[in-house]
Structure 1
Amino acid sequence: MSNSGKHQQRASDKPFQLLKEHQYAYTAVSELFHAVESSDPPLVYVYGPSGCGKTALITNLVPEFAEIHPEATFKIITASEFAAKFAAASNRNRIPQFQQTFRELDLLILEDIQSLESRTQTQRELLSVLDEIIKSGGMVVISSTKPPGELAHFHKKLVNRFHGGVCAAISSLKFQSRLELLTFWAELEQISIQKKELSLIAQKKELSPRELYAILMQLQTVSRIQQQPITNSFTRQFLEGNIEAPKTSVSKITKAVCREFKTNLAEIRSANRSQQIVLPRQCAMFLSRELTDESLAKIANYFNRKNHSTVIHACRHIQHGLEKSPGLRQQISRIKQQLGVYLL
């Protein structure tokens, strides 16, 4: 989902915890957003490994931008979504309308730029959009899993635009930061776990923050199902794979969603765009992303969607709905209970 407007913002999946490894990127984006007049440079390029917190860091600062610039228009969109919208506009002969939508923005936040590798036409259009926004005094934030110099098959001028901005790297978290993050999440989720058990998880240095969060939540789930406290021994056994977390699949999730919403598998995987089908389909995509290790592409394929940006849109839509709708939260909770995954 992309957002634009005077007061709109996108909520991140969970509260953001600023860590040492985030500091430079956080400062760079914050200074850009706080610029009252035209910022120099007007572009910040944030890069780091998948799951390191790029999106959370950026979106956490968006409310500050909206408060400082109450009349500004902005949009948050993935590069894949940008490409899909450009392709759709091209097919419908609506390129001028597409260009106007983006070029009049005061702030464009474009995520996962590396997904545009080898998309020559889209890159040219993006270059034009960035130049127009910057020429008009606007701001741009780009996120990527790669530094500009490692973007293969990218237009040289586009890479130069990225190099011309502030390039801020987010490195993999060190042990102390992993422990701090796990402690923060444990308090946030009200998980009864001691620091020495959190330290055992924090030693898993090969895991990203996103994966650490998943481990913590799985540990909590297993302890609830087995009615066992999260002791040092229990945690060690779980981390060693001697206690398995409950597993599910996209198929099982979708069937549980169908039962909750009183629809059927054929409808939810069809092209039907009626609200009574779209909502359960988005819930199934959201839960498939949250509760399985399947890729976005495989989830999209299961639901007969050509582009994984559909799954990204669904996840953001449902996450936003969960923050506003108690009814939707109850439905998601009941589905999880059916699956035996999270006993909420």
Structure 2
Amino acid sequence: MLKLPENELAWTATDRLLDLDAEEAPPLLFLHGPSGVGKSHLIIHLLREWLPAVEPLKYRLLSMHEFATLNMEAPAAESSGESLRSLGQLDLLVCEGLQHLDQQPWLQKKLISLFDQLQGTSARVVITSQMPIGAYDQVLPKLVSRCRGGVTATISLPGESSRARLLRHFAEIHGLTLDDELTRSLARQLPVTPRELQGCIVQLEALQRHQTLPLTADTIQDFLSMQQQRQPPTMMEVARSVAREFGVSVQAIRSAAREQSLLIPRQVAMLLSRELIQANYADIGAYYGGRSHSTVMHACRALLEKSQQSPELDYRLCQLRRLLQGLSTNSR
């Protein structure tokens, strides 16, 4: 995770909220910005630094999709009711994607009640949203008041110099060689989110591996032209391709089943949905068996680590990327 001018205020605010020793640390942080700018990554990055020093404090990353599901199932399912009650006993709650509760007053009331309960125990709350709370179509005044009662920070789209830094960072992670001229060219022509920049690097790495030659300015231009002409695959297309590759059914991959034989195919499908479609973690989780935002993040990280240790898995990932990008695949 890189500290950039566009995320510096959010970084400082999140770091301060997580610092239990900080005097007058805010009890609530409202963090907003477009999808893909790195809100979740910032929180996860700082949590990794924070948790070893404060364990065994209780925390939870909770998508609003999951919050809605728990509330809808609570009257009939004892486990959902227990999960909801446990939220009020946390030391830190991270609410992901508040915009999904827009025009949902009954869920907003449930969330307000939870915030008030946590405030009474001096717990801390981080809320992420794709837009400012004032831009919602229908939101209860009490929820607006709670969100504005803490600190508000924005993460904006990266400027050209930040995009160049991100491209170098992602290229280093993926073992891709990009000289300064090519990096500047890409940064200038791709006014997109960090998530999309990482997806671009992943695709360029696959292209370089296929042609076994260094990337050139002409190669980059051809790649960018092709990107503009081609529509990204859908999540269904990703699921079908992965299911075919691993010899399982789409229904099985998308189910809530936890069979070991489905673990790798499902993780592959989640990772490719993230890389090639730039789908957010909550949407991927909802598509694949109603899994949580944090589960999908862990699955993508775990799959990347496994592929680095397994040439066979890495090859299959590369082949699937090329297939879904409309490129020819390599023979073994």
2:303 paired residue among 314, 318, 322: 322
Matched, 1:207 2:188: no
Aligned to 2:56: 71
Assess if the C-alpha contact under 8 Å between 2:203 and 2:321 holds in 1. no
| Corresponding residue for residue 146 of structure 1 | 131
Query: Given the alignment of the two structures, is residue 106 of structure 1 paired with residue 106 of structure 2, yes or no?
Result: no
- Describe the shift of the 1:248–1:49 C-alpha distance in structure 2 as closer, same or farther (beyond 3 A): closer
* 42-51 vs 285-294, which moves further: 285-294
Aligned alpha-carbon RMSD (Å): 3.3
2:326 is matched with: none
Q: 1:246 to 1:79 in 2, by over 3 A?
A: closer
Deviation digits for residues 220-257 of structure 1, max 9, x if unmatched?
A: 22222233321122212322338989976656644554
TM-score, scaled to structure 2 = 0.83
Instruction: Tell me the residue number matched to 1:283.
Output: 267
- The answer to whether the 8 Å contact 2:285/2:293 transfers is no
Cα separation, 1, equivalents of 2:283 and 2:307:
30
Shift of 1:333: 2.2
Distance 2:150 2:284 in 1: 35
Give the equivalent residue in structure 1 for 2:158: 173
Q: 1:336 aligns with which of 312, 317, 322?
A: 317
1:42 maps onto 2:27 in alignment: yes
TM-score under structure 1 length normalisation? 0.80
1:187 to 172, 181, 187: 172
Gaps of 5+ in 2: 324-329
Within 2, Cα distance between the matches of 1:97 and 1:340?
Answer: 41
For 1:263, give the aligned amino acid. V
Question: 3-state DSSP class of the match of 1:143?
Answer: strand
1:273 is aligned to 2:254: no
Render the CA deviation track for 1:110-163: whole Å, top value 9, x for unaligned.
111101112222111111111111110110011111112112211110111111
Residue aligning to 1:5:
none
Alpha-carbon spacing, 1:245–1:330, altered in 2? closer, same or farther (3 Å): farther
Query: What are the superposed Cα offsets for residues 138-190 of structure 1, whole Å, 9 maximum, x if unpaired?
Result: 10011111112112211110111111110001122111111111111112222
Conservation of the 8 A alpha-carbon contact between 2:62 and 2:96: yes
Residue identity opposite 2:317 in structure 1: K
Counterpart CA distance in 2 for 1:175 and 1:314 is 32
Describe how 1:222-261 pairs up with structure 2 within 5 A. 222-241=207-226, 250=235, 253-255=238-240, 257-258=242-243, 261=246
1:100 Cα offset (Å) = 1.9
Q: CA deviation at 1:314?
A: 5.8
Q: Which residue of 2 aligns with 1:133?
A: 118
Query: For residue 205 of structure 2, what is the aligned residue in structure 1?
Result: 220
For residue 206 of structure 1, report the CA deviation from its aligned partner.
3.0
Q: Which moved more, 1:257-266 or 1:151-160?
A: 257-266
Closer/same/farther in 2, CA of residues 100 and 256 from structure 1, 3 Å limit: same
Q: 1:186 to 1:285 in 2, by over 3 A?
A: closer
